[in-house]
Structure 1
């Protein structure tokens, strides 16, 4: 029996996924969590064979949960479940140590198969997400420009960004101006949209 931890902040989705997995003869959902902090605590308590974790959750997000589980329960492979399959997120998930990456729109039977693969020591990446990641154009932004643009969002005040990133307001403006120019955008909010659409932030 493969013992599974399921972490998903939306109760309806969490309950539905748990019910679907419980129908599998070789899978048992031993714990469900509504946020990332609870997921790590329950993993410590129940020591599941596989964890399935939503990418975006309160407290610790999915990538942070992967990192924590890698430290406290390295024998437990993690599959990231996401509704946002952008190339950058896929790369970040795999870099963080996730063994699986699955879109929420995948057929229900796929999740059970992913859990079995991970339990056998294999990996799984959603084929469509992988294709998108392989064909995505490279980002024209430097890592620092991408970081500042991501922190800026469409309309966060420059002073708030500066405080967040420990930069001067002038330096923040320079990075945002450079990013906007490189992306051929008409405004900072347009630059943010272009970078998000292409999976660069």
Structure 2
């Protein structure tokens, strides 16, 4: 592939996930990722500051979509209804490629302490983004924080179901079903 062909960012992510799965995160170099993706190292560094950031590619966009959905939820929507709107908006970021690489990405993260730490930071960041969007809507801080954490848990549970082998369709129904289960479970806490 020529170095100016479109889709370099996506090819880099796919190449990295494949290499991390094949030979491990620590053994994979930026040069190998760039070569597998058919781009130069310079192109790699135009898209990512280091190889660790490949696995959180799109996190900023995902946070933005979550917060936009929460912000644009109807004025009378409760905190979890606003979170549901955020999850629906965020679902637009997930397509066939996301589902295809999910098992390989999960394996790569499970095999690397560094990637597990980065994944945990991503989770904290997504929950914080939802909490901040809810606070901006006037939701009191403890309620906003709890709703943000439930939103994160719904996101993770929905993603696990959606990216699993037998799931069909879009991401949104899986995330919303997970949120509904969590809502019911939290009501049962008394």
What band does the TM-score fall into relative to the shorter chain? under 0.3
Higher relative contact order (CA 8 A, sep 6+): 2
More helix, by proportion: 2
More strand, by proportion: 1
TM-score w.r.t. structure 1 length? 0.23
